[in-house]
Chains A and B, each alone.
Chain A
Amino acid sequence: MKKYLNLLLVAVQNLRRYKAKSITITIPIILMMAVSSFMMFSRGGFVKDAEMAREFLPDVTIQGIEAGRVVKVSLDIIPEIKKIPHVKTVAPRVWGYIPLKIDDLDISYTLMGLELEDLPDNPEFLEVMEDGSFLVPGDRNKVVLGYGVAQTLGFRVGEDIEQALELCTISISDLKNIGDEITIDDTLGNHGKFKVIGILKNRVQVYSADLMLVSNDDARDFFGYAENEASDILLYLDENGSADRAALMISQLFKNTRVMTAKALTNLVKEAFGRRSGTFSAMWLILFSTVLMFAWSQTTHISVDAGTEIGILKSFGWQTGDIILVKMVESLLYGFLGTSIGILLGFVYALMGTPGISGYCIGCASIYPKFPVPVSCDADSIILLFLIGVIPVTLITAIPAWLAGTIDPDKAIKS
C-alpha cells in the first residue's frame, strides 16, 4: 500500500520534473476537450430545447402562401377548418419580427399576438412563467417578455441580478420591474407601448428567448393588419386527432396555404442543428486523433531520455509494473487536468455566447445576441467527457512505457 502511495507521489513529481512535456501534452488535450465539451453542452441544449418547446407548440400551424412566399392568411377559412374532425381549438396568430437598435446593436425580437379568448386552458402554461403572470382574455397593451428580451431590456430577471447588470451595462437603480411600461419603435417604423406583466422562463430558450407576447388585437395594431388577417392559424386537436391527417386535409382544402405539424417544426430545428454539429464532429475527430498521435510521439520521442531513466530505475530493482504504473498515473493526471480545464473553457465559451461562431451555429439572425446558444450540462455528459479525455490518453501513453519497461535494463540505458 505504502509502495503505491510512493509511486503516486513520483508520478505527481514527474509532472513538475518534465514541465515542458507536461505542458505540450496537456495543451492539446485542453483544446480537444474544450471543443468537444462545448459541442456537447450546446448540442444537448438544442435538443432539449426543441423537445421541451414541443409541448407548447400547436399541433398544426397554417400559413398563407402566395407565389411561393409566406403572406398574411385570411381568417375566412376558419369556419371550414372548425368542421374538420377532432379540431378542438383554432387560434389565429399575428406576429412578426421587430428589428431594433439597442446600444448600436442590431437586435431582432419576435412580437407575437395570441387569441387570448381561445388559449388552451392548460395549467402547464403557468410553468413557463419565470415571473409575473400570463395574459388573460381582454388584456390590452400588455406584454409578456421572453427571458432574453427581458434581460436585454434591463428587467430584473431570475436570481442572477448581478449577471443581468453586467449584460445590460446599467446600474441597479435602473433595473426595470414587472409592471413597468416599455415603448417599442422598430426600425421599420412600427410603434407600440406596452405594460410588462410577466417574463417567460429561460427553459424553452431557442423559441422563447426573443419573444414578446401580446394580444392579437395589439399585434394587429402594431403591424397594421386588417381585422380578418393573421400571420398564421394555430390548430389544437383533441386526444384522438392526428396532426398529420388534419394537416393533409387542410392543404387539400385550401390551395394557398402551407401547413406544418409540431413534429415537423421541431425536426426542422433539430435537423438544422444536427447538420452543423456534423461539422463539429469532424473537427472534433481530427483534433482527437491529433491529440492521440501527439501524445504518442511525445512519449516515444522523450523515450530517449525516459528510456535511460527506466533502465536505471530497473537496474536498481524497480519492477516493470512499477514503472508502467507511474507512467499511467502521469498520463491520467495529464488527461484529468487537460479535461477539467478544457470542459471549463468549453462551458464558459458556450455561456459567453460563443463569440465568433454563434451566427454560424444557429444560422438565424433573429436569435437575439445574448446567450444565443442554449447550454445544457448534466452529469452524464461530464462523465462521458472525462472518459473520452482520460482513458485513451492514458492507454496510449502506457504503450511506450510498457515497451521501455520490458526490455533489458542495459539496453534501456543505452537506448
Chain B
Amino acid sequence: MISIKNVFKRYKSGKIYVKALDDISVNIEKGEFVFFSGPSGSGKSTLLNIIGCLTRVTSGSYLLEDKQVSHWPDHFLSPLRRERFGFIFQQFNLVSGYSAWENIALPLIPMGISQKERRKKALLILENLNLTTRADFMAQELSGGQQQLVAIGRALVNNPDIILADEPFSNIDARHVENFENILGNLKNQGKTIIIASHFHEPITKLVDKTFYFENGSISPKQ
C-alpha cells in the first residue's frame, strides 16, 4: 500500500544542508503494524512526516496505492491528510484555547459538519477513551496522559485507515503506555495500518509485524 523508493530528504538549516534521509526504500502493506526504531536524529520522524504528507521528499518516489503523491500540489494533499491519515505527534500538539472535545473535532470543521454534530462525534470518541469527564477541559488543563488520549482521539475522528504515531511513549507513564498499547491492539484488529516511530521498543513487541532500524538516515540491515 505504501511504497517508498530511493527517497532522499535534505533539510536546509541556515547555510548548511542536513541529510535526514539517505536513499531509503520501504514497503508497507495494508493492515501491517510497522515499527521505526533507531537512535535520535536517525530520520524516523522525517520518514513518518513524509508518509503522512506533512513534508515532501527531496528526491525519490512515494507511492500511496500506486498514486505518486510525492509531487502532488498542497491542495490535493489536504483531503489525503484528512481522510487517510491520523497523526499522533510526539508533543501531542493540542491547540490551546480549545477544549478537549473541540481539539478532537478540529479536523471536522472544514468538512462542513455542524458544531452539534461535531460535539456528538467527539463525545463518542472520548467515551471510548474513558475521558468523558474531561470533555470540556481546556487543552492546557489536561495531564500529559490525558493530552495524549485527546491527540489519539483527534487522529481517529475521521476514521482514517493509516495511523502514524511519533514517539508515543516518551511523554507518558507506564500505566498510560499499557492503555495506549490496548488501543493500538484494537486498531490493529480493525485492520488499520499502524506506523510507530520510537526508540522504546519493548512495550509493543507483540503487536509489531515489521521493524525498520534507522541509522544516520539509512535503514540498517541489522535488526
Contacts and interface: CB of A to CB of B under 8 A. Distances in A.
Interface of A: 1-3, 5-7, 9-10, 17-18, 305, 308-309, 312-322, 406, 408-411, 413
Contact of A316 (B49, B75, B81): B81
Contacts of B110: 3, 6-7, 317-319, 322
B109 interface: yes
A309 B95 contact: yes
16 contacts: A1-B112, A2-B113, A3-B112, A6-B112, A7-B110, A9-B115, A10-B109, A315-B54, A316-B158, A317-B78, A317-B158, A318-B109, A320-B78, A408-B54, A410-B55, A413-B93
Interface size bracket, B side: 20 to 34
Interface in B45-100: 49, 52, 54-56, 74-75, 78-83, 87, 89, 93, 95-98
A319 B82 CA distance: 10
Given A2-B114, A410-B54, 11 more contacts: A6-B110, A17-B98, A305-B96, A314-B78, A315-B54, A316-B87, A317-B78, A317-B110, A317-B158, A318-B107, A408-B55
A317 to B, nearest CB: 2
Q: Which 10 residue pairs spanning A and B have beta carbons closest together?
A: A317-B82, A2-B112, A3-B112, A17-B97, A316-B107, A410-B54, A409-B54, A410-B55, A410-B49, A317-B81
B154 interface: yes
B174 interface: no
Contacts, number: 80
A317 B83 CA distance: 8
A315 B55 contact: no
Contacts of B49: 410
B106 interface: yes
Interface of B: 49, 52, 54-56, 74-75, 78-83, 87, 89, 93, 95-98, 106-107, 109-115, 154, 158
Contacts of B109: 3, 6-7, 10, 318
Contacts of A10: 109
A308 to B, nearest CB: 7
A319 B111 CA distance: 11
Nearest to B118: A6
Contacts of A308: 93
Given A406-B74, A410-B54, A316 B112 contact: no
Contacts of A321: 75
